[in-house]
Amino acid sequence: MKRVAFWTGAIVMAIGLAGLAAARVKRPRELGPWILSGHYAFGFHGRVLAAGTLPGPIAGSGLLELNGRGGLSGSESFNAGGTVCWGTIAGTYVVHAQGTCELHLSFSPKMGPCPSEKFNAEGAIFASGRGIEFSSTDNIRVVIGEAQK
């Protein structure tokens, strides 16, 4: 009987210690749109491939404000094949749990002979949301860039 009580006590103690150890393990917090919030400066460069959309080399920069809930707005200027454009940006973003994101933007020109454009990109979030490395996913342009707080 003493032997059964000993082993029962040992098992209960082992289960209790295992429970304490499991409680101390920190699980990573799942990422969501909240990780991207605030003002970001960005730059990009690449090449526009499609005719009729200012084809040729492209480079630009601007400011974005991400609201932490999946919405964004901002402004940008760029040079596309020698044509200088300036305008506003509006759109949405989605953050995936593993630290990647999608950007869906619409550009509205304010200056220059520039068309309204839509831009889609995939990105990797770094420095706990303080930056994004992105590349276009559209078939009319090859563009890479970075945004940082």
Express each pLDDT in 9-32 by its tens digit.
555 455 554 554 545 555 556 789
Domain ranges of the chain: 33-148
pLDDT at 17: 47
**Which residues neighbour 106 within 8 Å (Cβ) at sequence distance 6 or greater?**
89, 90, 91, 116, 117, 118, 119
Q: Is the pLDDT of residue 88 over 90?
A: yes
Cα-based angle 63, 134, 129 (whole degrees, multiple of 5): 70
The closest alpha carbon to 147, from 132, 130, 125, 127, belongs to: 132
Q: Which tens digits make up the pLDDT trace of 67-86?
A: 999 999 999 999 998 999 99
Q: Rounded to an integer, what is the distance from CA 14 to the centroid of its chain?
A: 44
- Compute the Cα dihedral for 81, 53, 90, 98 and give only its sign: negative
For residues 31 and 18, give the distance between their C-alpha atoms in angstroms, rounded to a whole number.
28
Residue 89 in contact with residue 105, Cβ under 8 Å? yes
CATH number of 33-148: 2.40.128
Residue 55: which pLDDT band, with cuts at 50, 70 and 90? confident
Mean pLDDT for the stretch of residues 54-65: 94
